[in-house]
Amino acid sequence: MGREVFERALKDPDSLADIELGPEDPFFEEFAYIAAEAYEKKTQAELPPPERLFPEEPAGDRWEEDSDDLAKRFPRLWAKYGS
């Protein structure tokens, strides 16, 4: 959806509630395969696994999935997609 939508979402994740998606769009599963498919097409080899360095502790504010934390943090997204 472009750089503008991306940068707005970085500043205000709740702005994603303004985006109209189709019923399958929130899952975007096919995007997980794009890099590997492009690499394999270009190199005729499988994409090597990523080398990741994970921090010892997660960054950011702690939140609880089974509480109303997400509804409080992102009220517009919760109203649109929450349960």
The separation between the first and the last C-alpha atoms of the chain, rounded to the nearest angstrom, is: 25
* DSSP label of 3: H
For the cut 80, the answer to whether the pLDDT of residue 27 exceeds it is no
Listed in sequence order, the residues at least 6 apart from 56 whose beta carbon sits closer than 8 Å to its beta carbon are none
Give the model's pLDDT for residue 8: 95
Give the model's pLDDT for residue 25: 63
Beta carbons within 10 angstroms of residue 9's beta carbon: 15
* DSSP label of 69: H
Per-chain mean pLDDT for the chain: 87
For the cut 90, the answer to whether the pLDDT of residue 31 exceeds it is no
Give the model's pLDDT for residue 42: 95
